[in-house]
Amino acid sequence: MSWRHILRLELKAIFTNPAIIFTVFGGVLIYSLLYPLPYAQQLPREQQIAVVNLDNSPISRTLVRMVDATPQVKVMRTASSLDEAKQWLLNRDVKGILLIPEHFHRDLLLGSSPTVSFSGDAALFLVYGTVVEGLATATGTLSAKAKVARMVVEGNSIALAAEQYSAMKLSMQPVFNPTMGYINYIIPAVFVFILHQTLIIGTGLVSATQNEARTRGEHGYWDVLPAWQILFVRVALFTLIYVPLCAYYFGLSFDTYGISRLASMGDMVAMTLPFLISVAAFGVVVGELLPRKELVTVVVVLSSLPLVFSMGFVWPVSALPDPVHWLAQLIPATPAINGFLRLNQMGASFAQVSGWWLQLWGQAGFYALIAFALIQKKRRQLLQPLNSMH
């Protein structure tokens, strides 16, 4: 049987299966448009808070105006008591509370440090962090203003006071996330994971569909032609199909969302090839292990969330149990995400990611051998009834 004939048979198996077409092409396109939408504004802004002003002095009202002027929060309500504000927070009418204590103005004039309390809804950590950041920025600015004013009263020049009001200054320079936003943080890793999951579903559906046919007593080219040729053509076809999809994700999509791209094209191609080959081989293994095609999508989707939290870009590796960390190394997405992020977002040289590159090639060979063994095992099982009849 010629390679051209096997290629036609595999192409027919792929492009006549609506589930594969929708997952591979529709899924990749839809995810590229829909997934970044919640992060389009990069960071939460204008979170509604309530103020409890027990001092009601001019300086406390100045603080409230400064808080309202920050981009992170917006003062929506003023409560007469802390209990009233707490009830608003419990009812989700506001996302945070600022409490200005009694004698706030007096303590500032005396040089003591009044305690300003603020809290937020920690059920959503992005919202909570935004509220706390906005309130901390405003109170810190007012504190600096009070210190500068006190130093001027004590005889220091205003320029010297503005320079020396604090013994330590913070200078933040974002290195790998220039916008300090969530698109640059989450999208590069998630896009690799989306390619990984959809490719597993695509290759898995081909194998699982053929398993279904076997259970119905139907036999096709997958039970007759050499297993290594079928495996080679299937993996090669899906790799070729996904090369332009990877180019779309790492090129046009990254440009659209303003995500930095630091790797050269040669380095990206070198990392992409073992990634696609290893994932395609892994998908064949998944498909060969499952008796029905609908189980492929179920298994891949249910495994997505645990995998995301075990790969190190959402949850720190140091906080993962060792068994979970080592099991995650068996999944091609783990070295791929580590390699792509360091190459494309952090500007690492290819030598610095060569360990993950070699890991991907090792996984490609490992899963190809397992897929070949599973296909051969099914063929032996089919031949056993025929041999027993003879």
Q: What is the residue-wise DSSP string for 225-258? A: S-HHHHHHHHHHHHHHHHHHHHHIIIIIIHHHTT
Burial class (CB in 10 A: 0-12, 13-18, 19+), 222: buried
Instruction: Provide the CATH topology of domain 47-164.
Output: abc type-2 transporter like fold (3.40.1710)
pLDDT digits (tens, 9 = 90+) for 293-314: 999 999 999 999 899 888 888 7
Non-local (6+) Cβ contacts of 354 within 8 A are none
Q: Identify the helix (H) or strand (E) that includes residue 290.
A: none
Task: Label residue 287 by pLDDT band (50, 70, 90).
Answer: very high
In this prediction, residue 173 carries a pLDDT of 65
- The yes-or-no verdict on residue 286 having pLDDT over 60 is yes
Task: Give yes or no for a contact between 283 and 364, defined as CB atoms under 8 angstroms apart.
Answer: no
Provide the pLDDT for residue 289: 93
Average pLDDT over residues 216-234: 87
pLDDT in tens, 334-374: 999 999 999 988 888 999 999 999 999 999 999 999 999 99
For residue 374, the one-letter residue type is L
Spatial contact of 119 and 102, defined as CB atoms under 8 Å apart: no
Could you tell me how many residues make up the chain? 390
Sketch the domain layout of the chain as residue ranges.
3-39+181-389, 47-164
3-state secondary structure (DSSP) of residue 99: strand
Using the predicted structure, report yes or no on whether residue 181 has a pLDDT greater than 70: no
CA distances from 336 to 185, 319, 359, 360, 371 (A): 16, 21, 9, 7, 21
- For 121, counting Cβ atoms within 10 Å of its Cβ (0-12 exposed, 13-18 middle, 19+ buried), the class is middle
Give pLDDT, residue 225.
85
Strand order in the sheet with 47-53: 73-79, 47-53, 96-100, 117-120
Gap between the terminal Cα atoms of the chain: 27
* Maximum pairwise Cα distance, the chain: 109
Residues 6+ apart with CB under 8 A from 34: none
- pLDDT-wise least confident of 44-53, 136-145, 196-205, 296-305: 136-145
**pLDDT tens digits for range 196-209:** 999 999 999 999 99
Mean pLDDT of the chain: 84
- The confidence score (pLDDT) of residue 311 equals 86
**Range name among 66-75, 168-177, 298-307 with the lowest pLDDT average:** 168-177
In the structure, what pLDDT confidence band is assigned to residue 275 with cuts at 50, 70 and 90?
A: very high
CB contact at 8 A, 183 and 42: yes
pLDDT-based confidence at residue 167 (cuts at 50, 70, 90): very low
Q: In this structure, what token pair is assigned to residue 121?
A: 């809804």
Interstrand relation of 73-79 and 47-53 (parallel, antiparallel or unpaired): parallel
pLDDT in tens, 248-264: 999 999 888 888 888 89
Indicate the pTM of the whole model. 0.77
Which residue has 């939290």 as its token pair?
A: 309
